Each structure stands twice: as structure tokens, then as C-alpha cells.
Amino acid sequence: MVWTLEAQVETTGQGDAIDVTTTVAASLGASGIQAGIVTVFVAGSTAGVTTIEYEPGVVADLDRALEQVAPRHSPYRHHARWGDDNGSAHVRAGLVGPSLTVPFQSGRLLLGQWQQIVILEFDTQPRQREYVIQIVGE
């Protein structure tokens, strides 16, 4: 069986992390599916999905690490081509990726105790992000 939900979140711009674990767990409960996998996919080329311990220190540390790998104010070719300022957002999104798959059993996500599912905003402006929760199982 396959069950799909489309959802939205509002972000504040680069460095924002939105915990969607509760929404994913509620979707799993609503689906009635007991075992399988759930995929969370964010639509767009300047956002990503991952798991972290969702607390301000880790969110800040992750943002700082991404700033070291793909600094916001570096000269990106993307800026020259399109006249915008979000080249770092595209690079960060490429590194993190747009989706995450989590197994579940007995209707419960098999996440670690300190592990939450987060959508990461990499764009330099606030965005309304659409994401998909797709559950496959029995």
C-alpha cells in the first residue's frame, strides 16, 4: 500500500530548520500502515531534508559547518548567470539532498531517541516550502 500527503512549512531563510517529525508521525498514524518505510521529500532546489538532534546548538553548528563548506558570500557562477545571490543555497541543497527515508514498525518511526526529521532552508530569503510524505508498507 502507498499513502501520500502533501504539506507546507514557512521558513525564515538560510539557516532555518523546521522539525517535521510530529507531522510525519501523525501521517503515519493516519495511514493505518503498520510496517514499511516513509520518505520525506522537499520540492525545490534550495532546501534539504535530514535528521539531527533538533536543538538550537546543533542547528547553529550545522549552519556554521555548511557556511564553511559553501559560504554565502562566495563568488558563485550561479550569481553571474542569473543575477541572484543564492548560489550557496543550491550547493548546500546538493550536499544534503532533498529526501530522507525512515523505516517504521508497529506504526512507529524507528528514529533514535534524539533524532528528529528536519527540513533545512538554504535559500537566502524566506520561503513557503512544499514537502511530500510518502508511506509505503503493509
**Domains along the chain?**
2-137 (2.60.120.460)
Burial 72-93 (b: 16+ CB within 10 A, else e): beeebebeeeeeebbbbbbbbb
Q: What pLDDT digit, counting tens, does each position of 2-54 carry? A: 999 999 999 999 999 999 999 999 999 999 999 999 999 999 999 999 999 99
Which cell is 58 given? 546543533
Convert 4-36 into a string of H (helix), E (strand) and C (coil).
EEEEEEECCCCCCEEECHHHHHHHHHHHCCCCE
Q: Has residue 83 got a pLDDT over 90? A: no
- The pTM assigned to this predicted structure is 0.95
Which cell is 108 given? 512507529
C-alpha to C-alpha distance for 53 and 112, rounded to whole angstroms: 9
CB 90 within 8 A of CB 78: yes
C-alpha to C-alpha distance for 62 and 57, rounded to whole angstroms: 9
Question: Residue 82: what pLDDT?
Answer: 84
Which cell is 61 given? 553548528
